[in-house]
Amino acid sequence: MTAIARTVLPGGLRVVTEQLPEMRSVAFGIWACVGSRDEDAAHAGATHYLEHLLFKGTARRTALDISAAMDAVGGELNAFTAKEYTCYYARVLDEDLPLAIDVLSDMVTSSLLAPKDVDAERGVILEEIAMNEDDPADLVHEAFAAELFGDTPLGRPILGTVDLINSITADRIAEHYRARYLPHNLVVAAAGSLEHARVVELTSAAFGSRLSGAVEPSAPRLSGPAQGQPGGTGVRLVSRPVEQANLVLGGIGLARNDPRRFALGVLNAALGGGMSSRLFQEVREKRGLAYSVYSFSSQHADTGQWGVYAGCLPAKTEEVLAICRDEIAKVVDSGLTDEELERGKGQLRGSIVLGLEDPSSRMTRLGKSELVYPRLEPVEEILAEISAVTHDHIRAVASAVLRQQMALAVVGPFDDDEAFTAALAS
């Protein structure tokens, strides 16, 4: 039995914990309700840049002090930036939780953002962008988002572009930091062997005088400017001299809190979510046309995307694309079989439960629920919603999502997109 508790401190800082008595470790995270989609033109690229810079030192600790403190106790320390939030997290033994809270709180509240560190980290981020550009599987998903959402924050890469990173100044990054990293925009989440009152006490001490005033926490992000906007439906070709072509075919999906998301999740599992899925069987098992093929669905507050990915020999791209389109059409026209429906439900239920078997995933669930969901939905309710999905639900969501015009992104050794444009239009 787990115990979830929530406290709102002065200044609007939320502390949410889940006690897992059987564990010997704790996952601790500080979540900021700012993602790359929140950047205006003047601060484009600043969110991910900040993720790097907060590890570079505070008035109390150098960058080496930060990493050495966590290494000395065998802890894990990292961060990630998403479209709609940023998270700084650590996993440590329960006895080292005070250290983790102090180090992470210091980083998030008191980063120096020294100009020399901004300049040094600029090169690191440019290397990260170059590494991403060298991975066709990552690049094709970015190209798909760009085609689907256009030149908008959702369509641009989280890392920023080379031009943006080269041009952004330390002052702009500092402005973004001061505007976004305020207590009411932050959530402290922890799961594992802990006592809620102790986490609140340690967090209060670590944030100190920054926690003052009767400030309401930021409301969850439940809507946004992209709601109802149509997606792009063209072809985006990124020409690269690679041995394997990478394709993503898809369109606009569902928003994060859309009640149809459970049906889409079951449909996605049956269409391309595992080795027994239609796409895996038709493309890989029966024809041997690709090593990797799958379908996916991702959500934002106001919109989402769904699609099919395949990696294949360049000469096989048109055939693979035709099979994927055919399998999508079959689902739209005929839905799923009884066996596929039950298998899709089981796969989705299992992935959710198994994904919550460690403190880090539990901590993530707590943090995200505060930032982007109307409430922390009990796991039992989620599983019940999945179990309640029927053939009618599948047909309805397939008609709404899979029937629309699609966008196509291709990364491969091709000179022009004429053949792909014709295939998409047929």
Record the tokens describing residue 226, joined without a space.
Answer: 């992209």
CA 150, CA 158: separation in Å to the nearest integer? 14
Percent of the chain past pLDDT 70, that is, above it, reads 99
Residue 344 has pLDDT above 60, yes or no: yes
Beta bridge partners of 89: 29, 78
Q: What is the pLDDT of residue 21?
A: 92
Instruction: Measure the CA dihedral 245/344/333/420, to 10°.
Output: -10
On average, the pLDDT of the chain sits at: 96
Contact 305, 255 (CB under 8 A): no
Contact 211, 202 (CB under 8 A): no
List of residues 6+ apart from 36 with CB closer than 8 A: 47, 48, 81, 82, 83, 153, 156, 157, 158, 160
**Pairing outcome for strands 76-81 and 186-192:** unpaired
CA 181, CA 195: separation in Å to the nearest integer? 26
**Active site residues per annotation:** 51
**What is the mean predicted confidence (pLDDT) over 192-199?**
98
Q: Could you report the per-residue pLDDT of 258-275, keeping only the tens digit for each?
A: 999 999 999 999 999 999
Q: What is the pLDDT of residue 79?
A: 98
Q: What is the pLDDT of residue 180?
A: 97
Name the DSSP class of 58.
B
Q: How many whole angstroms from its chain centre is CA 60?
A: 32
Terminal-residue alpha carbon distance, the chain: 55
Q: What is the pLDDT of residue 2?
A: 64
Q: What is the pLDDT of residue 30?
A: 98
Q: What φ, ψ does residue 25 adopt, rounded to 5°?
A: -125, 170
Q: Could you report the per-residue pLDDT of 48-88, keeping only the tens digit for each?
A: 999 999 999 999 999 999 999 999 999 999 999 999 999 99
Residue 415 has pLDDT above 70, yes or no: yes
Residue 257 has pLDDT above 70, yes or no: yes
